[in-house]
């Protein structure tokens, strides 16, 4: 083997190794560690009588990524409008005002886990006045991904996330919203 062929083999092996490391960083490390969360908010009316409507807001969190999500402070805020409320608008002229509210509440305050590929539902029944016509539910939670120290180090060296969105330290106040029309009892 000549010196030229030996150098060519060494250069080829080096380029292949660099391409392999670059591909790993780009397609495995960055993509597999990005949080992939789908978050939906739902509301179902269970019962209505002359004085109250009982409904269930449901926060649905789907972990579409490849790492365990660690959730805390799964919470909900509900505003609503009853049939006799005036039709007023916020100062932006687009959103309607919803004059009534249920105090913000936690569905799960402590730490919970959502494994990869799992949809977790968080529910809490609430009582509203019987003449409620519109319900606005804002769900929120805080989260971080469960990764090992070696992976966290590799991400810090080769796939650093933006400083304002470093999911290794956690993301606060991830929100989802749903506005639901509630038909009158005689509809």
Map out the domains of the chain as residue ranges.
1-33, 36-181
Q: Tell me the C-alpha to C-alpha distance, in Å, between residue 156 and each of 29, 33, 162, 170.
A: 11, 12, 11, 15
Cβ atoms of 136 and 97 within 8 Å: the answer is: no
The predicted structure's pLDDT at residue 30: 59
pLDDT value for 12: 86
Q: Within the chain, which residues score under 50 in pLDDT? A: none
CA atoms of 1 and 5, how far apart (whole Å): 6
| pLDDT for 136 | 95
pLDDT at 17: 82
Architecture in CATH for domain 36-181: Sandwich (2.60)
């Amino acid at each position: 083997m000549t010196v030229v062929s030996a150098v060519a083999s060494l250069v080829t092996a080096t380029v292949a190794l660099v391409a392999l490391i670059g591909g790993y960083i780009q397609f495995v490390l960055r993509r597999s560690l990005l949080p992939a969360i789908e978050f939906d908010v739902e509301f179902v009316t269970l019962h209505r009588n002359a004085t109250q409507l009982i409904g269930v807001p449901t926060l649905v969190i789907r972990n579409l990524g490849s790492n365990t999500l660690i959730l805390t402070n799964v919470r909900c805020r509900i505003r609503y409008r009853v049939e006799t409320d005036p039709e007023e608008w916020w100062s932006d002229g687009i959103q309607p005002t919803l004059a009534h509210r249920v105090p913000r509440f936690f569905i799960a305050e402590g730490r919970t886990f959502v494994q990869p590929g799992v949809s977790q539902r968080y529910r809490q029944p609430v009582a509203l006045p019987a003449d409620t016509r519109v319900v606005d539910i804002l769900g929120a939670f805080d989260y971080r991904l469960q990764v090992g120290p070696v992976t966290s180090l590799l991400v810090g060296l080769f796939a650093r996330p933006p400083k304002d969105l470093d999911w290794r330290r956690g993301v606060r106040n991830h929100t989802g919203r749903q506005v639901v029309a509630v038909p009158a009892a005689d509809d």
